[in-house]
Amino acid sequence: MTGQNAGIIGMGHSYPEGILTNADLEKMVETNDEWITTRTGIKQRHKAADNEYTSQFGTRAALQALERAGLEPTDIDIILCATTTPDQIMPSTGALIQAQIGATNAAGMDVFAACSGFLYGLTMVESMIRTGQIRYALVIGAEVLTKYVDYTDRGTCVIFGDGAGAAVIGPVPEGKGILSTKIKSDGRYEEQLYAPGGGTKLGTSHQTIDDRQHFFKMKGNELFKVAVRSMADISAEMVKKAGYTVDDIDIVIPHQANQRITDAVAARLGVPDEKVYSNIAEMGNTSSASIPIAIDECIQSGRIKEGTLALLTAFGGGVTWGGTVIRF
């Protein structure tokens, strides 16, 4: 690829202190720790309090990422906040975070691509930096999913948790940064994961509230199969496009949807388990936040160092998916 390479130059993450354990869920729906652990790998998830909301976590993650990048908020040209659980319908959570961090030179907006949103954001700013249109971007994945989860539906409520991760993206030397990236969607699968109420199609009414239409609805096992195939295929394609083989990849950071999905993607790609990062036991599925939180944890623990070749892959409602190969 010609032009300026773009890469991650600072990361941060944040999540609510509140924790919802499998034992807590046992008191809410007919489920048990053994089922949740064996079917999802999840032991606990973080849950925002009633007075906590998405932009707060996005802001904390963004400020930490800026500090680690050694940049000021005013250095940022664009803020893309990937979220499916915005503070409110308008203005965008990206604009709210812009105000909260004081990024007065930036444009702030949201990326609405469910669990793939962080990779959507990375892909968009990569080309903006490559072409010289901007210098520094903040890509944030921030979610308070627990406020959209129906705690009477055991098929969805056990997997989702809250949190945010942020990346400062900027110019990096040739051979480093994002080496290949691709995003895709297929809206024909709309009803596999959706929240039907509250938009212009099914506006909020007493009836939609009574019918619980504003909560997420998910056909989990159907989504499962499409997720594995889509993530494995786009990953293989992006590794090849970057000029590598799967054996060259040092670490795979998949969207933390379900441990069984992660295991199946790794098996399909032929990547040994020790190269695949998972924090799902402690974090649950945090949608667009899961990949940036995981990257930051890997940097902080030393699992990602200068020179590490990483494969990122995501899949989510829409359906949407993506793959990115990045050299740190």
Among positions 112, 148, 224, 244, the unique one binding ligand UT7 when judged by CB under 6 A: 224
**With 0-12 CB in 10 A as exposed, 13-18 as middle and 19+ as buried, what is 2?**
exposed
Q: Based on CB atoms, which residue is closest to ligand UT7, 18 or 155?
A: 155
CA distance 209 to 136: 42
CB of 87 to ligand UT7, least distance (A): 21
Residues 36-75, one symbol each (x = binds ligand UT7 by CB under 6 A, - = not), give x--xx-----------------------------------
User: Which residues pair with residue 322 across a beta bridge?
Assistant: 183, 314
CB of 158 to ligand UT7, least distance (A): 4
CB of 155 to ligand UT7, least distance (A): 4
Q: With CB under 6 A as the contact rule, which of the stretches 11-19, 31-39, 95-103, 297-305 interacts with ligand UT7?
A: 31-39
Verify binding: residue 315, ligand UT7, rule CB under 6 A.
yes
**Binding-residue total with ligand UT7 (CB under 6 A):** 23
Q: Which residue is nearest to ligand UT7 (CB)?
A: 220
Q: With CB under 6 A as the contact rule, which of the stretches 60-68, 140-148, 216-224, 239-247 interacts with ligand UT7?
A: 216-224
CB of 50 to ligand UT7, least distance (A): 24
115 assigned to active site: yes
46 assigned to active site: no
Among positions 18, 155, 171, 198, the unique one binding ligand UT7 when judged by CB under 6 A: 155
Verify binding: residue 149, ligand UT7, rule CB under 6 A.
no
CA distance 111 to 121: 7
Binding to ligand UT7 (CB under 6 A) within 227-286 occurs at: 227, 257-258, 261, 285
Among positions 43, 68, 147, 154, the unique one binding ligand UT7 when judged by CB under 6 A: 154
258 assigned to active site: no
Binding to ligand UT7 (CB under 6 A) within 69-128 occurs at: 115
Give CA angle at 293 (262, 239), nearest 5°: 50
By CB under 6 A, name the binding residues for ligand UT7. Answer: 31, 35-36, 39-40, 115, 154-155, 158-159, 193, 220-221, 223-224, 227, 257-258, 261, 285, 287, 315-316
